[in-house]
Structure formats: C-alpha cells, structure tokens
Chain A
Amino acid sequence: MNPTAAKPNTAQTPDLDLVRAAFPALQTEVHGHQVAYFDNAATSQKPRAVLDRIDRYYCEENANVHRGVHTMSQLATEAYEGARERLASFLGASSSRQIIFTRGATEAINLLAASFGASFGAGDEIIVSAMEHHANIVPWQLLSERTGVKLRVVPVTDDGELDIEEFRILLNDRTRLVALVHVSNSLGTINPVRRIIADAHGLGIPVLLDGAQATPHAPVNLKELDVDFYCLSSHKMFGPTGVGVLYGKAELLESMPPWQGGGDMIEEVSFSGTTFNEIPHKFEAGTPNIAGAIGMAAAADYLESLGWSWIQQQELDLLEYATAQLSQIDGLRIIGTAPKKAAVISFLIGATHPYDVGSVLDRLGIAVRTGHHCTQPLMKHYGIPGTVRASFTFYNSRSEIDRLAEGLQRAAQMLA
C-alpha cells in the first residue's frame, strides 16, 4: 500500500446521502424506525470500503505474516506491513517502526504501563486528569500497586476544561509521565495538548496522549506535535474492533523492555537466554490481528478520501445545530461547555435519570449512550450518576438531530 496514495480529496464535496449509503449499519431498523446513530464515541459504524477490504483479505490473501516463504504469506505480510506504513502516514509518524499494533487504546496503555512503567518506583509520579477514561486510570493504578508510583490528578473546571494552572503546579522533578486524554469522550473537550507537551518537555517529562476520541475527528501529526506516546482504537475511527495503535518515539520504544512474550517478538530463543526482535515487532507477540490492521488502514484511506475539511465542517455544523436544538428543551442542561469541543453533547433533562431518557429514545430508534461513559471520577466531580450522551460524526444529518430533539421532548413529557 502506498502511503501517499490517499490524499485528501477536497476538490469535490462529498454528498451526505452517498456517504450515508456507504455505511450498511446506518440502514438498520430499530423498533420500526431507521436508526439515528448517535453513539459514535462508543464505536463508529463501518463503511463498505472497510468491510470489503477485510473480506478481500480473508478471501484472497489470508495467511500468517512474517517468515513465510510462500506467496500468500508474502501477500499477507505486505498487506499487514503496508497497513503499518499507512497508519504511520495517517498519524504523521516519521517511521512505521513507531507504529505498534495493539488490541486498541486500552491495550496500548496497558502495554505502556507494564513496559515503560516498569522502571517507575516509590517517589515517582504520573500525572493523569479527572476527565480520563478508565482505560487511562486503571492501568496506572495497577502499576501504582506494583511499584509504589503515585498518581497525581489534574482537576477539571466546571465547564469541562483541564485546570492548566493546576497541571503546571503538579509537574515536578518526580513526574515520570504525563498521561492525558486528547479529546474527552464524556464531554467532547479538546485539550490544549501543545501547551501540555511544551510544559512537560520543559522539564524533560514524556507525554502520552489518549487519542481514541481525537483520530476520528481531526488529522493529527504526531511528529509535529512532538508527543512521546499516542494511542488510538480502530473501531472508533470507522475501522474494525479489536485493533489499535500505540505510537512511540523510536528511542523510547527501543529502550523499553518487551511486554508479552511469544512468537514474532523474538530474535533468537534458547534456554540460556533469548534475544528480542527490533521495534515494532518486539511488542507484537504472537499472530497479530492481521485483518484488523488492514481494515484500520482502509478506514484511514476512507477518512482521507472524504477529506478532513469536509468532515470537520460537517461535524461543526452538527454540533452547533444540535446544541441550538437541544438548548430549547425545557430543563435540559449540557454537561461540558468548553469552547473547544468535538461533536459530543452530554446532558441531563431536569431530574430525569439518563437511563430512562435513553430507554425512551431507543423505542424511537435513536441510539445514544447513557451512564458514566467509563469516566466515573468525572461524574463524581459533577455530582451526577451519569449523563445522556449524543456523539455525532460526519454521517449524521440535521434531520436525525431533529428526531433527537423531538424524542427528547417526548421523553421529558413522559418522565415529568
């Protein structure tokens, strides 16, 4: 796969109806209605291009990767390593060696905690924030139990932004890693990652960004961002489930001990001692998710073929329209009102329970998420059990948002 093959196609504006038609799952009927899918922050739907690519892999190229001398193994290896190249170009990495395929962002952070975190100890500190997904809290807590490293937590302001002043105070010479979310899954807040990285690097501290909610919505250039580690999940960016990426600066990845052991990650195995493969293979023990990586690369192709400018314009329009429509509903309170937000609206209506609202919407074929969104500390901060979350993406339409607003009016009446 040629990494320069898919350039943003901004010359032609995609047609929303055609874009929607490319997503088979968007045609699903739920309780007699065509689904209005607003749970994109949990997982996105997959375009035909991704599904076809996975199908083609299994139908025509399936074989185990690396070391195979036969033609199909070589085809599979080329497709898998091509996917790595594609992800490197998609993320603006200098080299595909920096792209480690994982099961997703969660596994990426667990890998980092187990490997990069292995040298942390009592007296060391890791900075996370109160708006982290549990995936960027619990692996560090487990590490803390093993090594005594301490977690320091950046608080969140009432409108849902990181308290940057407090972050600066927390940074100190005991900080071994800053691990923060790029875009909040619960609130949509886009964090000021350039400032965060500059501040941390000023003290020589490496930074991990959890990019699971960032990569579906905006282009990232990791080399230019100068971030040390970055992770994402394919399924949130229109690719298949069960695959994702851990990106790291090459010198850091090279210095880290292996995590899981097995085939592919070794150079030579003997009972007197085993030597390990080079990065990225050092961190990919066993047969990888070959079809997943190839499907994720197809998703990257698809996103760039739509063009980021159209995607971002479409999502901004949806966010503004939905915010305006929802704000007209009596008693509706939006949680997370940072000026820079991705297309996510978390809200509550009066004293109604998010679960009740979500149940009524479901009957109307409207898919939203309810609950704590795997960010219980954040919900505690707001003193709420959870929210209703509508998360939009480029394939959503204004008429779907009208249905959401009508459904919410109805839910509010029923639950009054």
Chain B
Amino acid sequence: MSVLNQRAQALVEEFELFDDWMDRYQHVIDLGKELAPIDEGFRTNDYRIHGCQSQVWLQPGQNDSNVQFRADSDAQITKGLIAILLRVVNDAPALEVASADLAFLDQLELKEHLSPTRKNGLDAMIKQIRLYAGAMAARSSQSS
C-alpha cells in the first residue's frame, strides 16, 4: 500500500468514528483550524484556486522530492477540506502525488454530501495539487 493510500485509509477510519453529520462537519472545521498558515504574499490572485465559491489559496513548496503545500481559505469548511487533502499529500513524493487519484474522499462520505459548487471547488484543488506536484517531479528529475 502506498503512503498516500495508508494516510487516506487512516482518515477514512478517523471519520468512521463519527456517525452524526454535524460531528463530521465539526471535525472538518477543526482540521481546518489546525492548518499551518500560508506565507505572506501567497494570499493573492496568482495562488488562488478558481472554481470555489469561497476563496482558496494554495502555496506550493517541496522538501527534496516530497511535496510540501500550505493552503488557506476564507471559509472554514473549505479550509477543513483542503487540510484533509494536505494531510494525505504533504511529505509524499511529488511523482506519486502527481498521479494520485485521491478517491479516498469518496470513502469519507464527504464528497457526495458537498454541494455541486463545493465539489467543483474540491476537484479544482485536487487538479491544482497534481499540477504543482507534476511540475515539481519534472524539476527534480531534471536536476538529479
């Protein structure tokens, strides 16, 4: 099992502890609160992910060949969702993230309960994470 799958599985199990929807939402919100702040200068249009009703900014970064993203949003549930994504992908190899399907979100039973606009926003986040990871992987392979 890849590191991404292991982490995703851990999250699925974590979310299974909540049977009430409100608790599940509360957990998403709480995870968002734990997200490390993004650096000055990244809360700009250049780093904004379009397709979300709320604003989302994604700061790319890497640690050797591993990705290291930071993100922020003006909406707490959105921020929680991106925190979940980052918990899975951060510190994982860029090459692996670039091709990850991140389908575990379906298993959290969160995705189908999101409004279509939020779902589009989430898809846009995943797409952007993969794009950045792809570029990082390409850069690493060139320099090595």
- Residues of A at the B interface (CB closer than 8 Å) are 31, 352-353, 355-356, 359-360, 362-363, 370-371, 385, 410, 414-415
Which residue of B is nearest A353, CB measured? B75
- Residue contacts A-B, CB under 8 angstroms, 15 given: A31-B21, A353-B54, A353-B74, A353-B76, A355-B78, A356-B75, A356-B76, A356-B77, A370-B53, A371-B53, A385-B54, A385-B74, A410-B22, A414-B26, A414-B29
Given A362-B115, A370-B53, A371-B53, check contact A355 B75 (CB 8 Å): yes
Question: B25 contacts which of A353, A363, A370, A371 (Cβ < 8 Å)?
Answer: A363
Given A355-B53, A359-B118, A385-B55, check contact A415 B22 (CB 8 Å): no
Q: Mark B30-44, 1 if CB is under 8 A from A, else 0.
A: 000000000000000
A385 to B115, CA, bound (A): 19
Min CB distance A327 to B, Å, is 24
Determine if B76 and A415 form an interchain contact, defined as CB atoms under 8 angstroms apart.
Answer: yes
Min CB distance B119 to A, Å, is 12
Interface residues of B, dominant DSSP: helix
* Cβ–Cβ < 8 Å partners of A360 in chain B: 22, 25
- Residues of B at the A interface (CB closer than 8 Å) are 21-22, 25-26, 29, 53-55, 74-78, 113, 115, 118
* Cβ–Cβ < 8 Å partners of B75 in chain A: 353, 355-356
Given A31-B21, A360-B25, A363-B22, check contact A352 B76 (CB 8 Å): yes
A352 to B21, CA, bound (A): 20
Interface residues of A, dominant DSSP: helix
Min CB distance B94 to A, Å, is 31
Min CB distance B79 to A, Å, is 9
A352 to B118, CA, bound (A): 17
A353 to B56, CA, bound (A): 13
Which residue of B is nearest A363, CB measured? B21
Min CB distance A273 to B, Å, is 49
* Cβ–Cβ < 8 Å partners of A355 in chain B: 53-54, 75, 77-78, 118
* Cβ–Cβ < 8 Å partners of A415 in chain B: 29, 76
Question: B115 contacts which of A352, A359, A410 (Cβ < 8 Å)?
Answer: A359
Determine if A414 and B74 form an interchain contact, defined as CB atoms under 8 angstroms apart.
Answer: no
A359 to B25, CA, bound (A): 9
Min CB distance A33 to B, Å, is 11
A352 to B54, CA, bound (A): 12
A371 to B115, CA, bound (A): 13
* Cβ–Cβ < 8 Å partners of A362 in chain B: 115
Question: Knowing that A356-B29, A360-B22, A385-B55 are A-B contacts, what are 4 other residue pairs whose CB atoms are under 8 Å apart, sorted by A's residue number?
Answer: A353-B74, A360-B25, A371-B53, A414-B26
Min CB distance B7 to A, Å, is 25
